[in-house]
Amino acid sequence: MADEGIKIIAQNRKARHDYFIEETYEAGIVLVGTEVKSVRQGNVNLRDSYAVVKDGEVFLYNMHISPYEKGNIFNRDPLRTRKLLLNRREIDKLAGYVQQKGYTLVPLKVYLKRGWVKIELAVARGKKSYDKRQSIAKRDAQREIERAFRQRQKM
């Protein structure tokens, strides 16, 4: 990843816990000047954010970008709706997924790629509570196996 010039700014770890991730897409995001500066400082929160396909375009809701301290009158609303930049084929494919029952578009991470702000968008299906318990049990079991393996190597 480092050789491609990617620097991760923010991740939505809760999304992987709450959803089954089917597919991921890389999208550009339309920002104004002070928002870009704030993103570069890492002032982004993806919690509770989601994307919607509307009129052949994809919009991101509830992504919080804190106002830039030195931005004064040029700062915008931190929770404003932002447009995502995708190819027409990708938008049509996402629209098809979202029309199916139970699928939603969730941002997984915001990162800089060669100086451009990008967002990783996932087509996701919600987990039930028993699915979450299974995931936690599986992760704990894997952790125990690794711990036992490490202790065995020390001997």
Query: pLDDT confidence of 1, banded at 50, 70, 90?
Result: very low
pLDDT digits (tens, 9 = 90+) for 5-46: 788 888 888 888 888 888 899 999 998 878 888 888 888 888
pLDDT recorded at residue 133: 82
* pLDDT at position 141: 86
What pLDDT score does 58 carry?
A: 92
CA–CA separation, 115 and 60 (whole Å): 21
62: phi > 0 → left, psi -120 to 50 → alpha, else beta; which?
Answer: left
Statement: residue 149 has pLDDT above 60:
yes
Task: Provide the pLDDT for residue 3.
Answer: 55
Pick the CATH number of 2-127 from 3.40.50.300, 3.30.420.40, 3.40.50.2000, 2.40.280.10: 2.40.280.10
Model pLDDT for residues 53-106, shown as the tens digit of each residue: 998 899 999 988 888 777 676 667 778 888 999 999 999 888 888 888 778 899
Return the domain boundaries, the chain: 2-127
Query: What's residue 125's pLDDT?
Result: 86
Higher pLDDT, 43 or 130: 43
